[in-house]
Chain A
């Protein structure tokens, strides 16, 4: 397709500084294999990073980013035990994905102003519905025939005439079968389906990242990155009074071992806070880790440079 309308939209996009990365080689991927070089699309709802596609979630989990599910589960939407998509990421998780070039911020698609393209998209969608309807009609007919044939086979041995009645029905089925339009099954898409053919805009600029990086986020991110590189899985620990829960393996199968509290090197904490969290840790049988990233290197960069993180654990001991 020359003069692809999607291309023109990209060049006319409102923010002139957005570049589109063209390195994708997605034809080789299948549902079960994690995507090779495809970037994970992180969409933001306000300042919260969310993931919508299952392939993205699989990719993230393979690099140790678990996130938390916050939506209704499709199979049983009216319960809270097991939730479904979208996957909410911690700020630190999203930052890690961006830093390791695994993920990229996906901006809200603007409404395509092109009326003609939009009507074309609507036509395509409706045509898709029609063809789906026809196919489902045929499938339903086949299904009904199979069911009737099975009944006939079962009634082979019966002495009454019911078998003949059903055979007559089977023969008349092609004419008499009705599959009304409202009986058709439709899909309610979870992730964006792209019906409107609007190109997805992605941004690699830090200015388009909606979360400002303050001191606190930097500290937490240093600790997160360090623990992640050591092979631990981390999730949020607000209910435990800490910053992260640290798991030795995948949270689906293992219990957390540590509650990590991120404190910058020069921060002062009152003793009663230390006591409180130590008590809490011993109550829930997890070790409390006080984590502090070491001071930045001499270059004095704004962003935190990867350095060492100092860990101290708290444990009650008795003096005998």
Chain B
């Protein structure tokens, strides 16, 4: 019993060794802020006095720097509270300068993400409380870093970049506009609104209309539906899954998406005949009446005489000038109208036409010398088949060059390779707006030397996810971080 008693007390003494007394705290105001420069290293230990002395000096310096605790004026610290259920840190006193690039507001409160809060704790700007007691940095690491928030390696990369001055945000895949969307040149504000609406996932109350006054009214109803449908996630900025991207399509479908995917009727185009009304030869076409099953109710529709409609079309022959006629004659000298071929006219649809072409091709190949074409090894090309060197090279090439974007949509997402952060350059800090950060400088994917080197599958996936922003790999090796990036490179193939 007595042993345990002393051990707990002694343990407490041990634990409190690093607490500063009030006089030490007071003295800390006049501490130096300079870091001593490290001297040159030696090559071989020779047991000399000089070396030992220098080593001792380096060590003393080392321990002094490490043992120094963070002491801040209470008025300079921003008070915050850690909420483990939401995995967020809520600010309780006004934010400082860091608010320009970090944190977000929601429902009237100011929040910091766990990695941001931990970084600010390490910088001595924020004091985070949990259950009314302040958290130490060790507790911050233990509580804030996990596989659901940010792992230790990811935090190390985050801290490294922040200390260099970059602005680092968590990556949100749904915030990347696809190539098509960029082609359409959607105004940026619609993206932000979408993101803000995604953030409101947790609140069950309808969206207040004053902020969204410019968006159409129809959007509020599916928003309520999507609130219930979208699964409640802990952090509003966790990467939204695919279902979130389709919320704007719910407008057209009243029942919720899982039931709305009834199979659309598949049309059999081979049995549908499209009458040819435009060509000059078919002036006397008469359209048959449509199938009774397609008509509503007891409607009766007879045959349709197309002639009056056709007369409205401008079927006049074009009047060409003399020069145009000359040009056309030159062009048409060797051109054969496809439709003047009797066999082509016999084809009733596209399938038969392709079959005809295939038959002709095969017939054309009948006159190939047997000693070349009937063996195991056949020539790669036929004389007359290619018109230029490049065509020939293209035809005989075995390895076709490809680009990263080929076949990306068929790739399955990977657990191992994920983009963690968006990084913005330090010189943009002055104009940086959290609501509209713009295009990042690069996107970070955190990995380590223990893991595999990213293969082509990973590169394609990541560059697709990131669109036109380059992806940098931050490799964490026991505290040391190295950055690598891969560039898509095309070998020149032109031969002239």
Query: Cβ of A76 and Cβ of B136 under 8 Å apart?
Result: no
Beyond A38-B14, A90-B478, A189-B136, is A183–B75 a contact (Cβ under 8 Å)? Answer: yes
Query: Cβ of A188 and Cβ of B139 under 8 Å apart?
Result: no
Query: Cβ of A239 and Cβ of B152 under 8 Å apart?
Result: no
Query: Cβ of A139 and Cβ of B10 under 8 Å apart?
Result: no
Residues of B in contact (CB 8 Å), total: 85
**Minimum C-beta distance from B130 to chain A (A):** 9
Query: Cβ of A78 and Cβ of B142 under 8 Å apart?
Result: no
**Minimum C-beta distance from B350 to chain A (A):** 54
* CA distance in complex: A136, B138 (Å): 27
Chain B 4-24 against A: per-residue CB contact (8 Å), 1 yes, 0 no?
A: 110110111111111110110
Query: Cβ of A182 and Cβ of B59 under 8 Å apart?
Result: no
Query: Cβ of B159 and Cβ of A72 under 8 Å apart?
Result: yes
Query: Does A276 interact with chain B (Cβ within 8 Å)?
Result: no
Chain A 91-135 against B: per-residue CB contact (8 Å), 1 yes, 0 no?
A: 000000000000000001001000000100110010000011001
**Minimum C-beta distance from B235 to chain A (A):** 19
Query: Cβ of B33 and Cβ of A252 under 8 Å apart?
Result: no
Beyond A189-B18, A248-B45, is A27–B132 a contact (Cβ under 8 Å)? Answer: no
Query: Does A45 interact with chain B (Cβ within 8 Å)?
Result: yes
Query: Cβ of B44 and Cβ of A248 under 8 Å apart?
Result: yes
Query: Cβ of B449 and Cβ of A192 under 8 Å apart?
Result: no
Query: Does A273 interact with chain B (Cβ within 8 Å)?
Result: no
Residues of B67-116 contacting chain A, CB below 8 A: 67-75, 77
Of B4, B14, B71, B156, the most chain A CB neighbours within 10 A belong to B14
* CA distance in complex: A242, B19 (Å): 40
**Minimum C-beta distance from B215 to chain A (A):** 41
Of B16, B43, B138, the most chain A CB neighbours within 10 A belong to B138
Query: Cβ of B74 and Cβ of A183 under 8 Å apart?
Result: yes
Query: Does A253 interact with chain B (Cβ within 8 Å)?
Result: yes
Query: Cβ of B142 and Cβ of A45 under 8 Å apart?
Result: yes
* CA distance in complex: A125, B38 (Å): 39
**Minimum C-beta distance from B371 to chain A (A):** 44
B480 contact set on A, CB distance < 8 A: 68, 236, 238-239
Query: Cβ of B65 and Cβ of A84 under 8 Å apart?
Result: yes
Query: Does A1 interact with chain B (Cβ within 8 Å)?
Result: yes
Query: Cβ of B141 and Cβ of A50 under 8 Å apart?
Result: yes
Beyond A76-B35, A80-B160, A108-B142, is A7–B8 a contact (Cβ under 8 Å)? Answer: yes
* CA distance in complex: A69, B16 (Å): 22
**Minimum C-beta distance from A157 to chain B (A):** 28
Residues of A1-44 contacting chain B, CB below 8 A: 1, 4, 6-7, 20, 22, 24-27, 31, 38, 43
A180 contact set on B, CB distance < 8 A: 75
Query: Does A167 interact with chain B (Cβ within 8 Å)?
Result: no
Query: Cβ of A4 and Cβ of B62 under 8 Å apart?
Result: no
* CA distance in complex: A253, B62 (Å): 12
* Among B14, B29, B138, contact of A190 (Cβ-Cβ < 8 Å): B138
* Among B58, B124, B136, contact of A77 (Cβ-Cβ < 8 Å): B124
Of A25, A53, A199, the most chain B CB neighbours within 10 A belong to A53
**Minimum C-beta distance from A196 to chain B (A):** 6
* CA distance in complex: A20, B11 (Å): 11
Query: Cβ of A254 and Cβ of B43 under 8 Å apart?
Result: yes
* CA distance in complex: A68, B479 (Å): 6
Query: Cβ of A182 and Cβ of B74 under 8 Å apart?
Result: yes
Query: Does A46 interact with chain B (Cβ within 8 Å)?
Result: yes
Query: Cβ of B22 and Cβ of A190 under 8 Å apart?
Result: no
Beyond A182-B73, A183-B74, is A76–B19 a contact (Cβ under 8 Å)? Answer: no
Chain B 164-184 against A: per-residue CB contact (8 Å), 1 yes, 0 no?
A: 100000000000000000000
**Minimum C-beta distance from B323 to chain A (A):** 69
Query: Cβ of B14 and Cβ of A125 under 8 Å apart?
Result: no
Among residues of B, the one whose C-beta sits closest to the C-beta of A140 is B26
Query: Does B163 interact with chain A (Cβ within 8 Å)?
Result: yes
Query: Does B361 interact with chain A (Cβ within 8 Å)?
Result: no
Chain A 277-309 against B: per-residue CB contact (8 Å), 1 yes, 0 no?
A: 000000000000000000000000000000000
* CA distance in complex: A37, B408 (Å): 59
Query: Does B423 interact with chain A (Cβ within 8 Å)?
Result: no
Among residues of A, the one whose C-beta sits closest to the C-beta of B165 is A78
* Among B23, B41, B475, contact of A255 (Cβ-Cβ < 8 Å): B41
Query: Cβ of B127 and Cβ of A186 under 8 Å apart?
Result: yes
A136 contact set on B, CB distance < 8 A: 22, 25-26
* Among B10, B72, B124, contact of A26 (Cβ-Cβ < 8 Å): B10
Query: Cβ of A253 and Cβ of B35 under 8 Å apart?
Result: no
B448 contact set on A, CB distance < 8 A: 238
Please choose the segment from A54-62, A147-155, A168-176, A222-230 that sits at the chain B interface, where 4 or more of its residues have CB less than 8 A away. Answer: A54-62
* CA distance in complex: A227, B300 (Å): 97
Query: Does A219 interact with chain B (Cβ within 8 Å)?
Result: no
Beyond A50-B141, A86-B141, is A194–B123 a contact (Cβ under 8 Å)? Answer: no
**Minimum C-beta distance from B197 to chain A (A):** 34
**Minimum C-beta distance from A144 to chain B (A):** 12
Query: Cβ of A74 and Cβ of B14 under 8 Å apart?
Result: no
Query: Does A181 interact with chain B (Cβ within 8 Å)?
Result: yes
* CA distance in complex: A43, B59 (Å): 24
Query: Does B66 interact with chain A (Cβ within 8 Å)?
Result: yes
Q: Top 10 closest A-B pairs, CB basis?
A: A182-B75, A238-B477, A68-B479, A236-B478, A238-B449, A189-B136, A135-B22, A72-B122, A249-B45, A188-B70
| A residues in contact (CB < 8 Å) with B | 1, 4, 6-7, 20, 22, 24-27, 31, 38, 43, 45-46, 48, 50, 52-55, 57-58, 61, 68-86, 88, 90, 108, 111, 118, 121-122, 125, 131-132, 135-136, 139-140, 143, 180-196, 199-200, 235-236, 238-239, 248-250, 252-255
| B residues in contact (CB < 8 Å) with A | 3-5, 7-8, 10-20, 22-23, 25-26, 28-29, 31-33, 35, 38, 41-45, 51, 54-55, 58-59, 62-63, 65-75, 77, 119, 121-124, 127, 131-134, 136-139, 141-142, 145-147, 151-152, 156, 159-160, 163-164, 448-449, 475, 477-480, 482
28 A-B interface contacts by CB (under 8 A): A22-B4, A24-B7, A25-B10, A54-B18, A68-B480, A70-B479, A71-B137, A71-B159, A74-B70, A83-B479, A84-B65, A86-B137, A86-B138, A185-B71, A185-B72, A186-B71, A186-B77, A186-B127, A188-B77, A189-B137, A190-B138, A193-B15, A235-B478, A238-B448, A238-B477, A238-B478, A253-B58, A255-B42
